[in-house]
C-alpha cells in the first residue's frame, strides 16, 4: 500500500462497540454455503419506536433476490449500536426462510475496534519521543475506554510499550480489508427462488427523545397558547430518511417523571419528608412503585421525518389554545419520615411548612395524550412583551384529563398550620382533632387561597366544627377558599372526629 493511513489519537476515547455472532453452523452447512455474498436492498420503509428511557425499536422493509437453499447476505445501513440479540427477519410468503447465523461488523466504530482489527500488522506509531515502526501485537485499554498503551514488536523481535497518552497518530503500513461501514452478515436458507420481501426488526441504542412545552398566559382572558415541540437525538452513524416515528412512553419513564415532580415539590420543605400530598393527586405519596419497561402510551408523529446521523432534530408536535385557571394553594401538612404512622398516634401529621404555591391548570382538550416533558410558562404583559412565570414537568396527560402545574412560591404570602387539640373521646374508637391555619398576605393585592386539609387518620370522619365554608374535593380531603386582604391575615379553625 503506497502511503500510510493515519488514525489520529483524537479518536482514542471513543467507546467500545461489541461484535458478536449468533447460531453456530455444522461443518456440512459451512461447506455447502456459497462463496458469493448477496447484497440486500436499502430500506423501502422505516419505522422507529423510540422509548422515553432511551433506545429504539426499528422495523424495516427490504428486498433480496435469493436462490433456493443456502445463501450469504450482507445488509448495509444499519446503526452501529444495533443489539444483535434482538435482530429478527421474516421473508413474507416463504415459510421455509430461516436465518442460520448472523454477524455484525464495523471496524471503524471506535479506536479499539480499529486497532483490534488491524493487529497483527505493521504500523508506524508517532509519539512524543519520535516514530517507532514494527508489528502491532496488542493494544491495552483503560476501564473508561481510553488507550492505555500499545505493545510493538520491532524488526529484531524486540518488544516495546508505548504509553497511550504519548501517542499522536498511528500509520497503517499494510493494505487491509476493513469494515468501514456498519454491516450485518447473514447465512440464510430459502425455500424458493426470486425476490423476497424481507421484514427486519431490531433494537438499537443511541436514539432518544424529549418533549418541551411553552405555555403563554394571556394578559386578560383565560385562553392561553400551548406549543409542544419534540427533539429527537440520533447518536448513531446511520441517517434515517422519511422515517415513521412513534414516541413511546414506558412505565419506567413515567415513574421517573413522577419522582422528579415529587422531588421538586419536596425540596423547599426541609430535610427528607417521607410522606407528602401533591395537589391534584389523591392519597399520600409514599412507597416507591414497582415499574418496568412496558409501553403505556404511544404518540405517532404526523408525517415522516429525516434524522441525520449523530445530530438532533427538533420539530413541533402541535399547538393548542386551552382555557387555563390560575390560583394559589396552601397545602401545609408534611410528615416526618421518622414518626410513627399509627392512626391513633397523637403526634402524627403535626409538622407543617409555610409555602403558598402558585398553580396553573388546564384540560387536555385534544384527541391525543400530552407526553411528559418540561414546560415553561410565560405571561404576556400589557405592552406586548413576555415574562417568565415558572417552570415545571408535565406528566402524561390523557385526553379530557386535567393538568396541574406548580409554578413556585407566591411572593408576599405565607401560611402556618398548627394543631390546637387532640382528644380521645372513646379510647381506641373515637378521636377528635382541631387545627388552626393562618394565612398572611404581605403583598399589595387581595388573594383567594385554596387551603387544602387531608383527613389522613381514617376514612370514617366527620367535620364537627368549622368557622369557614369548605368542600370535599377528594376522599379524605377538604378545601377552604378564603380571601386574604392585602396587608392582612386570615385564620381558619376546624375540628374533625374520627371513628374506627
| Cross-strand partners of 448 | 483
Establish if 31 belongs to a structural domain: yes
Domain boundary among 169, 204, 239: 204
| Per-residue pLDDT, 32 | 62
Q: How far apart are CA 390 and CA 298, in angstroms?
A: 28
Domain match, 140 and 270 both: no
Position 345 confidence tier, pLDDT thresholds 50, 70, 90? confident
Residues 40, 154 within the same domain? yes
Based on the domain organization, do 73 and 118 belong to the same domain?
yes
* pLDDT tens for each residue of 126-167: 777 777 788 877 787 788 777 777 778 777 777 877 787 777
| Structural domain boundaries, residue 406 | 209-499
Instruction: With CA atoms as reference, report the closest residue to 283 among 435, 473, 424.
Output: 473
User: Tens digit of pLDDT for each residue in 397-444?
Assistant: 999 999 999 998 999 999 999 999 999 999 889 999 999 999 999 999
CATH of the domain at 198: 2.30.30.520
Listed residue (389, 406, 411, 383) closest to 215, CA to CA:
389
**20 membership: H or E segment, kind and range:** none
Q: How many CB atoms lie within 10 A of CB 494?
A: 21
Asked whether residue 51 is assigned to any structural domain, the reply reads no
56 falls within a domain:
no
Residue 49 has pLDDT above 70, yes or no: yes
The residue written with cell numbers 379510647 in the block is 427
- Strands (DSSP E) contained in 111-224 are 122-127, 130-141, 147-153, 159-163, 167-172, 183-190, 194-204, 207-217
Does a cis peptide bond (omega within 30 degrees of 0) precede residue 120? yes
| Cβ 45 vs Cβ 7: under 8 Å | no
Contact 363/403 with Cβ under 8 angstroms? yes
Which of 204, 225, 249 is the last residue before a domain boundary? 204
If you average pLDDT over residues 212-225, what whole number do you get?
A: 89
125 or 417: which leads in pLDDT: 417
Residue 44, CA distances (Å) to 67, 73, 301, 321 in order: 21, 17, 19, 38
Q: Are residues 197 and 287 in the same domain?
A: no
Is 317 contained in some domain? Answer: yes
Question: Do 222 and 186 reside in the same domain of the chain?
Answer: no
Contacts of 123 (CB under 8 A, 6+ apart): 133, 134, 135, 136, 152, 170, 171, 172, 173
Q: What is the reported pTM?
A: 0.74
**Same domain for 181 and 108:** yes
Report whether pLDDT(183) > 80. yes
Same-domain status, 290 and 172: no
Convert 234-250 to b/e letters by CB count within 10 Å (16 or more is b).
bbbbbebeebbbbbbbb
Give the pLDDT of residue 165. Answer: 75
76 with 225, same domain: the answer is no
> CA–CA separation, 1 vs 124, rounded Å?
14
**Of all helices (H) and strands (E), which one includes residue 339?**
none
Is 27 contained in some domain?
yes
Residue 54, domain member (yes or no)? no
Is residue 254 located within the same domain as residue 317?
Answer: yes
Q: Could you tell me if 214 and 173 lie in one domain?
A: no
State how beta strands 194-204 and 147-153 pair: unpaired
Query: Which has more confidence, 248 or 344?
Result: 248
Determine how many CB atoms are found less than 10 A away from the CB of residue 356: 25
Decide if 187 is inside a domain.
yes
Q: Where are the alpha helices (DSSP H) in 243-378?
A: 251-266
Q: Which residue carries 415513574 as its cell?
A: 255
Last residue within a domain, chosen from 204, 239, 264: 204
pLDDT of residue 181: 74
**34 inside domain:** yes
Residue 26: pLDDT band with limits 50, 70, 90: very low
Which of the four pLDDT bands, split at 50, 70 and 90, describes residue 334? confident
Which range is least confidently modeled, 35-49, 128-142, 158-172, 370-384? 158-172
194 and 233 co-located in one domain: no
Which H or E run contains 477? strand 477-480
User: Which has the minimum average pLDDT: 15-19, 75-79, 388-392?
Assistant: 15-19
- Counted domains in the chain: 2
- Contacts of 143 by beta carbon, 8 Å cutoff, 6+ apart: none
pLDDT at 304: 93
- Strands annotated E in 364-467: 373-380, 386-394, 402-426, 430-441, 447-454, 461-466
pLDDT digits (tens, 9 = 90+) for 281-332: 566 554 344 455 788 899 999 999 999 998 999 999 999 999 999 999 999 8
Q: Which of the given ranges, 28-32, 100-104, 257-261, 431-435, has the highest pLDDT on average?
A: 431-435
**Whether 384 and 424 share a structural domain:** yes
- Residue 230, H or E segment: strand 225-234
* CA distances to 206, 262, 279, 290, 301 from 52, in Å: 12, 19, 25, 17, 14
Query: Both ends of the chain: CA-CA distance in Å?
Result: 90
Question: Rounded to an integer, what is the distance from CA 314 to the centroid of its chain?
Answer: 16
> What is the Cα–Cα distance from 205 to 193, expressed in whole angstroms?
35
Residue 109: pLDDT over 70: no
Amino acid at each position: 500500500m503506497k502511503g500510510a493511513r493515519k488514525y489520529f489519537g483524537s479518536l482514542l476515547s471513543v467507546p467500545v462497540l461489541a461484535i458478536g455472532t449468533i447460531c453456530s453452523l455444522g461443518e456440512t452447512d459451512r461447506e455447502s454455503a456459497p462463496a458469493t455474498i448477496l447484497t440486500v436492498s436499502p430500506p423501502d420503509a422505516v419505522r422507529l419506536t423510540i422509548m422515553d428511557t432511551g433506545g429504539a425499536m426499528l422495523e424495516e422493509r427490504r428486498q433480496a433476490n435469493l436462490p433456493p437453499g443456502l445463501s450469504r447476505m450482507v445488509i448495509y445501513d444499519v446503526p452501529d449500536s444495533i443489539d444483535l440479540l434482538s435482530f429478527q427477519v421474516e421473508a413474507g410468503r416463504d415459510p421455509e426462510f430461516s436465518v442460520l447465523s448472523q454477524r455484525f461488523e464495523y471496524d471503524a466504530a471506535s479506536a479499539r475496534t480499529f486497532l483490534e482489527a488491524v493487529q497483527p500488522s505493521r504500523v508506524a506509531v508517532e509519539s512524543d519521543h519520535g516514530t517507532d515502526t514494527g508489528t502491532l501485537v496488542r493494544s491495552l485499554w483503560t476501564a473508561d475506554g481510553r488507550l492505555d498503551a500499545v505493545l510493538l514488536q520491532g524488526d529484531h523481535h524486540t518488544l516495546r510499550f508505548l504509553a497511550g497518552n504519548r501517542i499522536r497518530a498511528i500509520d497503517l503500513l499494510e493494505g487491509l480489508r476493513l469494515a468501514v461501514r456498519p454491516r450485518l452478515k447473514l447465512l440464510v436458507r430459502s425455500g424458493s427462488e426470486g425476490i423476497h420481501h424481507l421484514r427486519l426488526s431490531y433494537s438499537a441504542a443511541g436514539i432518544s427523545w424529549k418533549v418541551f412545552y411553552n405555555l403563554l398566559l394571556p394578559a386578560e382572558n383565560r385562553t392561553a397558547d400551548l406549543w409542544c415541540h419534540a427533539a429527537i437525538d440520533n447518536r448513531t452513524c446511520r441517517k434515517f430518511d422519511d422515517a415513521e416515528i412513534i414516541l413511546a412512553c414506558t412505565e419506567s419513564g413515567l415513574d421517573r417523571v413522577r419522582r422528579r415532580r415529587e422531588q421538586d415539590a419536596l425540596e423547599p420543605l426541609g430535610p427528607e419528608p417521607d410522606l407528602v400530598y401533591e395537589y391534584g393527586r389523591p392519597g399520600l405519596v409514599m412507597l416507591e412503585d414497582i415499574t418496568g419497561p412496558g409501553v403505556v402510551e404511544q404518540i405517532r408523529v404526523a408525517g415522516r421525518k429525516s434524522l441525520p446521523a449523530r445530530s438532533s432534530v427538533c420539530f413541533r408536535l402541535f399547538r393548542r389554545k386551552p382555557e387555563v385557571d390560575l390560583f394559589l394553594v396552601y397545602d401545609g401538612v408534611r410528615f416526618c419520615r421518622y414518626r410513627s404512622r399509627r392512626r391513633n398516634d397523637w403526634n402524627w401529621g403535626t409538622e407543617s411548612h409555610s409555602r403558598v404555591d402558585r398553580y396553573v391548570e388546564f384540560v387536555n382538550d385534544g384527541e391525543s395524550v400530552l407526553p411528559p416533558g418540561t414546560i415553561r410558562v410565560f405571561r404576556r404583559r400589557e405592552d406586548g412583551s413576555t415574562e417568565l412565570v415558572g417552570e415545571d414537568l408535565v406528566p402524561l396527560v390523557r385526553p379530557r384529563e386535567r393538568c396541574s402545574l406548580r409554578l413556585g412560591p407566591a411572593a408576599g404570602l405565607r401560611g402556618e398550620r398548627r394543631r390546637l387539640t387532640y382528644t380521645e373521646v372513646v379510647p381506641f374508637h373515637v378521636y377528635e382533632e382541631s387545627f388552626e391555619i393562618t394565612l398572611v398576605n404581605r403583598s399589595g393585592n387581595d388573594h383567594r387561597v385554596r387551603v387544602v386539609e387531608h383527613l389522613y387518620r381514617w376514612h370514617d370522619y366527620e367535620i364537627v366544627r368549622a368557622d369557614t365554608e369548605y368542600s370535599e374535593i377528594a376522599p379524605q380531603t377538604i378545601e377552604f377558599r378564603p380571601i386574604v386582604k392585602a396587608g392582612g391575615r386570615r385564620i381558619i379553625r376546624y375540628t374533625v372526629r374520627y371513628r374506627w
